[in-house]
Structure 1
């Protein structure tokens, strides 16, 4: 009795790939791409299509290796040219990711949104920012869900609006310098009072009035338009002002959130920060001259003396050291404290100018 040999159906399975899917005319089309290359292509970083596509072939199911039918391609795209169709799917299609990978991405973006909310808001009672863990807990209470197709900054502003409806939280004020002709002094003061702006200093120089004030970011566009009409000048001194008073352990929910040092001095501007550091160095030097054996430590990354052992440890946590460390990895020379803080503030100002509509 003869036996019939049954041959398995040939099937090409593509695994460990990034799949981009597009549904057109009720038919699903897929292309196989290399992982981490789709986003690079869409952002303009990657230019070589061969580095993005594993094959210029259109599938109806990539994992099973089932090719799309020519009649379906003609009906959906008006052509059966796989190269052109692959480009359209790559630009308009939805990137498919695994469950754990999607969960990781959403968790990371949730943290990013919470961080931005923390940086842009304060407790109206204490005038200090909430901790990141508290912001995350409040976001869970309002049932915030991350939108992977929207930017973190845009979602952060929406979160702030929702939080303000239920919790005591407000946008941290901006610090501005307004310079206007002296004839506009009275209208300017009336506007600042209407905006509940806090005036830090006021100085008359020649025929111009210079006012340093803090105001809600929501009034920035109106203020900028007003200064243009008056032929005045507006300078952004700080995009987010926080009152950094001495912190206490009870202000933090857990040891991971609490900072290792609670002797931070309130610093609101570059000049004040520079003055604090200089005072610390002066005190250390005076103690050494008085007979105390205080060793001055030098940071090789910043090329500067930073004081005793405690100040040396605190220096490694400072924005000054972190910024110079990034420059060192790019083989750039270190910046002084004032240059560094100015550079950071300029970067923040450029990134946040779009957010002042709220």
Structure 2
């Protein structure tokens, strides 16, 4: 017995149908749902079942319109109530998505993973987090591929370990408050904190109790918490991820002489690993305008009218249209704003990334 789904007039067949499939008792059962509604239902956002299911009918093949047999439903589910069976398939079944929808889901999960990596890591020299755009570029550098069946947090931790092999990046410390008897701290905990290279922010003594605010590597939290409990104390998480505040240059240059400004210096300062990484990222931006009178034997240069800049030969010209700089100026052009330089674009992107993720730093 077959029953064809009613399709919208003027639409291609099955373009508006999302199929949820469940294999049970050796048979395949399918239900027809509306696109983008299944995930909303599973997350609890959508409450109206009629907004999710196109029909409360169980199929063995939605594409061909073949209904599931009643005896197969009873054998697999122990009943033939199609409304209840639809609910079970909706909860436990596998969502079949189209190529573009799957690509969109992977892109969103990639962004989520990059956000988690940004929140949990810092630049070891400046003690500040990298921007979300730089983290995404580094993930592309190591050829990271999203696994849709694994959680974003687990994949983010794997990405951090892989990035540490190639780039200057480390886990940002977590801030804890440890409260325990003072004599137990001197006898047992003090040595361990030194061994773990823990930074003690403050100490406060109240009677026989000692309260310590410290920052340590998140990977040591379980060991620290178990030790404090054994010492009749307690631990409290104040911040999952701690980043430095204030001017980056001031933090980075504090206590160091500015070699470049000295008139006696004859050699340029040696670049750190972080500086080399930053330079590597900047190479993805294009060079500023060149002087057309520098020689007649140069390769023909192309000019982008949107960015008002010379962008190089034909290959660089094609790559320019894919760059964030060009896309940013296109948006400005639609708002009748003048174009900006690549450096100004990078500053705008970093500023918007910082504002967009400001509320996610301390969770």
Give the TM-score category using the shorter length.
0.5 to 0.7
What's the TM-score once normalised by structure 2's chain length?
0.62
Q: CA deviation at 1:178?
A: 2.0
Q: 1:113 to 1:260 in 2, by over 3 A?
A: closer
Q: Deviations over 1:70-97 (max 9, x none)?
A: 4544554454442333222112211122
Are the aligned partners of 2:19 and 2:30 in contact in 1 as well (CA < 8 Å)?
yes
Write out aligned runs for 1:54-65 (5 A).
54-65=54-65
The separation in 2 between residues aligned to 1:28 and 1:260, in whole angstroms, is 49
The separation in 2 between residues aligned to 1:261 and 1:70, in whole angstroms, is 59
Match of 2:347 in 1: 258
Are the aligned partners of 1:177 and 1:235 in contact in 2 as well (CA < 8 Å)?
yes
Q: 1:31 to 1:193 in 2, by over 3 A?
A: same
Q: 1:261 to 1:70 in 2, by over 3 A?
A: closer
Q: Deviations over 1:335-357 (max 9, x none)?
A: xxxxxx9xx84xx1xxxxxxxxx
1:157 aligns with 2:157: yes
Q: CA deviation at 1:136?
A: 1.5
Are the aligned partners of 1:181 and 1:209 in contact in 2 as well (CA < 8 Å)?
yes
Write out aligned runs for 1:61-210 (5 A).
61-74=61-74, 76-186=76-186, 187-210=188-211
The separation in 1 between residues aligned to 2:158 and 2:205, in whole angstroms, is 40
Are the aligned partners of 1:113 and 1:155 in contact in 2 as well (CA < 8 Å)?
yes
Match of 1:295 in 2: none
Q: 1:50 to 1:184 in 2, by over 3 A?
A: same
The separation in 2 between residues aligned to 1:318 and 1:140, in whole angstroms, is 22
Gaps of 5+ in 2: 8-13, 250-274, 286-343
Write out aligned runs for 1:291-306 (5 A).
none
Gaps of 5+ in 1: 1-8, 263-313, 324-340, 349-358
Q: 1:173 to 1:20 in 2, by over 3 A?
A: same
The separation in 1 between residues aligned to 2:45 and 2:4, in whole angstroms, is 34
Aligned residues: CA RMSD: 3.4
Moved more, 110-119 or 241-250: 241-250
The separation in 2 between residues aligned to 1:204 and 1:156, in whole angstroms, is 39
